[in-house]
Amino acid sequence: MDKEKDWPLWEIFIRSRAGLNHKHVGSLHAADADMAIENARDVYTRRNEGISIWVVESKHITASNPEDSESLFEPADNKIYRHPTFYNLPDEVKHM
Amino acid sequence: MTTETSMLDKFEEKIRKEIKIEPRDWMPEKYRKTLVRQISQHAHSEIVGMLPEGNWITRAPSMRRKVALLAKVQDEAGHGLYLYSAAETLGTTRKEMTDDLHTGKAKYSSIFNYPSLTWADIGAIGWLVDGAAIMNQVMLCRTSYGPYARAMVRICKEESFHQRQGYEIMLTLARGSEEQKAMAQDALNRWWWPSLMMFGPPDHESKHTAQSMAWKIKRKTNDELRQQFVDATVPQAKLIGLKIPDSDLKWNEEKGSYDFGEIDWDEFWNVVKGNGPCNKERLNARVKASEKGQWVREAAAAFAEKQNQRKAKKEQVA
Ligand SMILES: [Fe+2]
Ligand SMILES: [Fe+2]
Ligand SMILES: [Fe+2]
């Protein structure tokens, strides 16, 4: 029993209906990608929650480091001119 | 200021501001440990909880009852999986958790160490045991750890049918023959007190409560949840003409809730320590399932390995 290792971990992404993005819903263990899709069907779409499934082995995901998040996202912080409210227009212009 | 204390400050500020903690965020070691213990126990409870009900699937009295019970037990397997996955984001492995369950190191909810003797027990379990679990789980939808909270939201969506199917069974029996009504009452008599114990020891004796509340892992104390459960359940029993087996139970106008009798905490601790009616049977069933499934897991791993090699070869040729 001890030599036995867990099957690899997979991250599961589900498209809930046509027109929407696939969204991360959780993870599960499976021996291979086909099994990951079948298991994802059984555990994450028992009540019609999805019409399409993506599976990605967890080890293939590279994530940003939360400790760097300040410096990583800081450049977007001080660019208010990227937002529509930065521009002053006369009230007569109703929708723009 | 050392980095450790500035990290701790940041962590506590997030907790204060109701910002969820995510897997790769810094967290105190004790927060991590508490969560691993709590989430894995919760996962084990979902899995072991399949046993008392699974016991009745083949003997359900009608096709309607059978498909419902089967779907419910299937859901519990899913709940176990969501929770194991949430715990794994904290750095533990599935194998460590299941090994801890099988060696008796990890606990699961003591309620599942009671036997399901009659069909009415399936009604009582859905109504009371899932009902109590829901109280706890609704509270945990607001827990401070992101993956745990998300698993809870998913679980709560699925739970409500569990309680309704249980209550419907009780309702049907309570409106049936004298024998059926007696069977429903007997099930309520046996499951009532263990259900109240599900919320855990009283606040003044619970060693984890204060810290878990401070970290917002728990948002309500054991006694608060227990009171909430009693207040919700007593009218439901009345509605179907069943009697809660507690002679001290009475409405307290002043506090706007029910007073209820003393819980037998000796019984609770005795079952926690492994001496309940079914502790050995439950654990054996889990160990046997794992041993019997070992060749399947090995075969699937070998098959996946072979497929990968074939694919690699094909890519080489192409
Ligand atoms: Fe449950
Ligand atoms: Fe559940
Ligand atoms: Fe349930």
- Contacts with A2 (C-beta within 8 Å, 6 or more apart), sequence order: none
Choose among B72, B45, B39: nearest CA to B57.
Answer: B72
Res. A3 pLDDT band, cuts 50 70 90: low
Looking at every residue in chain A, the average pLDDT score rounds to 91
Average of per-residue pLDDT across B220-236? 97
HSE-CB of B51 using CA atoms within 13 angstroms: 24
Looking at domain A3-61+68-86, its CATH class is alpha beta
pTM passes above 0.90 = yes
Q: Which residues from A are below 8 Å from B312, CB to CB? A: none
HSE of A42, CA atoms in CB hemisphere, 13 A: 15
Residue B130 C-alpha to ligand 3 middle, in angstroms?
5
3-state secondary structure of B21: strand
B150 CA to chain A: closest CA distance, Å? Answer: 9
Distance from residue B1's CA to the centre of ligand 1 (Å)? 45
pLDDT band with cut points at 50, 70 and 90 for residue B315: confident
| Residue B150 pLDDT level (bands cut at 50, 70, 90) | very high
Q: Look up residue B150 and give its two tokens.
A: 């998300």
Position A2 scores a pLDDT of: 44
Q: Among partner residues B26, B94, B300, which is closest to A31 by beta-carbon distance?
A: B300
Q: Provide the percentage of residues in chain B whose pLDDT is more than 90.
A: 93
**In this complex, do B81 and A32 lie within 8 Å of one another by their Cβ atoms?**
no
| Range A19-25 contact pairs with CB under 8 angstroms and sequence separation of 24 or more | A22/A52, A22/A54, A25/A49, A25/B154
Q: How far is the CA of A89 from the centre of ligand 1 (A)?
A: 58
Q: Which parts of chain B fold into alpha helices (H)? A: 3-16, 29-48, 50-54, 63-88, 94-102, 119-124, 130-140, 146-174, 178-197, 209-214, 222-239, 265-270, 279-317
CA-to-CA distance for B50 and B260, rounded, in angstroms?
30
Distance, in angstroms, between A66 CA and closest chain B CA?
A: 6
**Chain B interface, best mutation among A1, A65, A69, by max B CB count within 10 A:** A1
Question: Is the pLDDT reported for residue A44 higher than 90?
Answer: yes
pLDDT of residue B112: 97
Per-residue pLDDT, averaged over B226-255, amounts to 98
pLDDT tens-place string over residues B285-300: 999 999 999 999 999 9
Q: Distances in Å between the alpha carbon of A39 and those of A27, A55, A57, B68, B307?
A: 10, 10, 14, 21, 18
The CA B103 to ligand 2 mean position distance, Å, reads 23
List, for residues B174-203, the tens digit of each pLDDT value: 999 999 999 999 999 999 999 999 999 999
Q: What is the tens place of the pLDDT at every residue in B30-56?
A: 999 999 999 999 999 999 999 999 999
| Rama region for B216: left / alpha / beta (φ>0; ψ in -120 to 50; rest) | left
Q: Which residue of A has its CA nearest to B302?
A: A31
Across the interface, whether the CB atoms of A46 and B95 are under 8 A apart is answered: no
pLDDT of residue A1 exceeding 50: no
Whether residues A32 and B24 touch (CB distance < 8 A) is answered with no
Residue of A23, A3, A28 whose CA lies nearest to A13 = A23
Size of interface A-B (CB pairs under 8 A): 55
- Looking at chain B, the whole-number percentage of residues with pLDDT higher than 70 is 99
Position A4 scores a pLDDT of 67
Express each pLDDT in B98-148 by its tens digit: 999 999 999 999 999 999 999 999 999 999 999 999 999 999 999 999 999
**pLDDT over 50 (residue B83):** yes
pLDDT at B1 over 70: no
**A7: nearest CA partner in chain B:** B301
Cα–Cα distance for residue pair B61/B208, rounded to 1 Å: 43
pLDDT at B186: 98
Query: Closest Cα to residue A22, out of A30, A31, A32, A11?
Result: A11
Mean pLDDT of A5-31: 95
The tokens for B227 are 């009171």
Residues belonging to chain B with any Cβ–Cβ distance to chain A shorter than 8 Å:
22, 24-26, 74-75, 77-78, 81-82, 85, 88, 93-95, 150-151, 154, 158, 291, 294, 297-298, 300-301, 303-304, 307-308
- Show me where the domains of chain A are located: 3-61+68-86
**Which strand (E) or helix (H) includes residue A38?**
helix A33-44
Verify whether the Cβ–Cβ distance A65 to B150 is below 8 Å. Answer: no
Q: Which of B24, B82, B300 sits opposite A66 (nearest CB)?
A: B24
